[in-house]
Structure 1
């Protein structure tokens, strides 16, 4: 058994770690210096807090090619943003199209609206490698279809959806496109205009390298969503209804200013390093990991083959071994953090053929080293060899 003195973190698809130094410093500085409520006062500290939020919006707008930063509403996470989009846009009798690769953060709000409001839903099957046929999506469109919802990248398979093609289809057929960018924001290029994205839900704590409890939703300027929450906004306080002005309409209550300060620094890091450079580095690490795992007898990797573009997600199963046991041994014996189970995407596991077992998911990040990949591959090999001898 190899002795690991430091943690090797391979769970970046859940939350990225470590964070750039500026992220932690920005959070601490905000708590110490700008701890007032943004948008709730005219005193100096409140104004500084408001500036933190606006600077973050501007950086996000630059990253996603969004014309007006105020079209970005901050949220607690991608799940919060997706619920705002789905519940805020769909009405009774509407039809929504999603895919078999969706996270429960898309599936469950849709299922809840089916039960409560009678909306209709169609889930389009991708193949076992995560490839989606846009023609299948088009064939599913009906006169009552209002929304197409798609993950930019599968959180199980790492496959990348043809978002620009879906955007063109949505525009041509008069429906809206919601993109779940949980695994792509900060890693893949996103341009909401050229890709035809009407609603973009993104996390702050993954590829954008910010803290947990942050995220947001881009809302096309021509769209009006029913707010998910109603309450204080600091504007139009005399009115009984939620104001129409953005972003206040979608941001009831006090915002997570320290977290957003950290998110802003994470986005600045991504802008400085460039999305392409980040993706290229993560892709090289991913292919290194895939090649190493494929050389181990009895290991099967889910998703696209080596050499096919994907995000830094490598899910695998080892013949005759429970994924949870593999993850436990990697953690306890080798100090390597991965995630096992169903990854909140039972539809994805049905697609991949692993619904009965789940899988181990290893997800390198920008700060992962090649030596970390070697350590993971060696550990999996040692565990599988030991298990084979035992059996």
Structure 2
């Protein structure tokens, strides 16, 4: 199988990641639950990975790194723990349902106001709309760094500067960019950064978290056992315990830490450059095929290695199934959990087929995928004449 669905999850993990998980499963107990060797082993794994994440994203203190099972949980923790009744929130039309759905519940249940920054025909954010959406009660601006559909990347520094000047909390979803692009919380004025471990960070599924600026207070989404302050009636207030309840996924966290080590050893820029060359080669190979429709801004090298397309009016699920069944190529069809983006790009009924590349792909795989699209397009075009 030629795996071109890396925006959903990275399939092939480095050997170092697999070994770290195995080692942790053989040695790690329950973190912060005693002074046994097993518990202390888990403590070390968790702390060391917090430190690696804090260095990766320039977090002020490793204690401000909180572990969750994925970025969806992290985003829910941030939004539901910060936004209060009557607040105003700004987001965009390119967001994933991990942002849109929690905001919809807050609109319904807490009378929160939500406004959306629109996108243009290439899927780029209309930055000029942002200042006009800000109100006296605007508390949060929540935005992804890179679109999981088009691969377009947003200018975090520009938006972070606006938020800091207006005293707005800036929450960023880096699911598609963490491990591929440099992200600096201090430079970009990011208050809360939500990440997942199983994509470009090359960690196991079931890992993720949020990084929180020191002066941002988040109410706990869950409460329960923490291993400390057992006789407190409520969740301990100190970070990261405030936002972490129950047993942590130390085995997965060990793999996540190894994934970060792998990226650092190979060079994040080099890995991303390789994936970008594959996506650019694919784009150049399919863009002139008759009746191909491409979505996103391809006039810049600074984009996630994603190419989304359709062939004429063919349903995206049909095209993806043909690629899988006939050519053994894995892609992602449909709406990609981004309903407002598809509404904006008028692809609600058809969806799109997303090709997402990794440094682990090969040029032979890319060329074969181009050949497959050309053949399917030619056959589709011949049947519609």
TM-score range, shorter chain: over 0.9
Distance 1:33 1:22 in 2: 16
The aligned counterpart of 1:332 is 325
Contact 2:84 / 2:112 at 8 angstroms: preserved in 1?
yes
Distance 1:301 1:308 in 2: 16
SS of the aligned residue for 2:141 comes to: strand
The aligned counterpart of 2:183 is 190
SS of the aligned residue for 2:333 comes to: strand
* Paired residues for 1:222-371 under 5 Å: 222-371=215-364
The aligned counterpart of 1:88 is 81
Q: What whole-Å deviation, never above 9, does each CA across 1:8-35 have from its counterpart, x for those lacking one?
A: 100000001211111111111111122x
Contact 1:151 / 1:161 at 8 angstroms: preserved in 2?
yes
The aligned counterpart of 2:3 is 9
Distance 1:117 1:329 in 2: 45
The aligned counterpart of 1:3 is none
Distance 2:2 2:137 in 1: 49
Q: What whole-Å deviation, never above 9, does each CA across 1:205-256 have from its counterpart, x for those lacking one?
A: 0010001110010111111101111000011111011001111111100011
The aligned counterpart of 2:39 is 46
Distance 2:147 2:121 in 1: 12
Q: What whole-Å deviation, never above 9, does each CA across 1:69-108 have from its counterpart, x for those lacking one?
A: 1101001101000000100100000000000100000000
TM-score, normalised to structure 1, is 0.96
Report the Cα offset of residue 388 of structure 1. Answer: 2.5
Report the Cα offset of residue 386 of structure 1. Answer: 2.0
The aligned counterpart of 1:205 is 198
Report the Cα offset of residue 66 of structure 1. Answer: 1.2
Distance 2:218 2:101 in 1: 19
SS of the aligned residue for 2:247 comes to: coil
The aligned counterpart of 1:56 is 49
For structure 2, the residue ranges without an aligned partner over 5 or more in a row are none
For structure 1, the residue ranges without an aligned partner over 5 or more in a row are 1-6
**Aligned match of 1:378 in 354, 367, 371?**
371
Q: What whole-Å deviation, never above 9, does each CA across 1:309-337 have from its counterpart, x for those lacking one?
A: 21011110110311101110111111110
Cα distance change on mapping 1:378 and 1:217 into 2, 3 Å: same
Contact 1:63 / 1:271 at 8 angstroms: preserved in 2?
no
The aligned counterpart of 1:136 is 129
Deviates more, 1:284-293 or 1:347-356: 347-356
The aligned counterpart of 2:18 is 24
Report the Cα offset of residue 308 of structure 1. Answer: 4.3
Number of residue equivalences: 384
Aligned structure 1 segments of 4 or more residues deviating by more than 3 angstroms: none
The aligned counterpart of 1:156 is 149
SS of the aligned residue for 1:263 comes to: helix
TM-score, normalised to structure 2, is 0.98
Report the Cα offset of residue 390 of structure 1. Answer: 3.3
Distance 1:66 1:276 in 2: 20
Q: What whole-Å deviation, never above 9, does each CA across 1:119-156 have from its counterpart, x for those lacking one?
A: 11001101121222333111100000000011100111
Report the Cα offset of residue 306 of structure 1. Answer: 4.4
Distance 1:45 1:107 in 2: 40
Q: What whole-Å deviation, never above 9, does each CA across 1:264-315 have from its counterpart, x for those lacking one?
A: 1011111222222222212111111111111321111100024442101111
Report the Cα offset of residue 389 of structure 1. Answer: 2.8
Contact 2:313 / 2:350 at 8 angstroms: preserved in 1?
no
SS of the aligned residue for 1:361 comes to: strand
Contact 1:290 / 1:306 at 8 angstroms: preserved in 2?
no
**Aligned match of 2:212 in 200, 212, 219?**
219
Contact 1:303 / 1:352 at 8 angstroms: preserved in 2?
no
Contact 2:60 / 2:214 at 8 angstroms: preserved in 1?
no
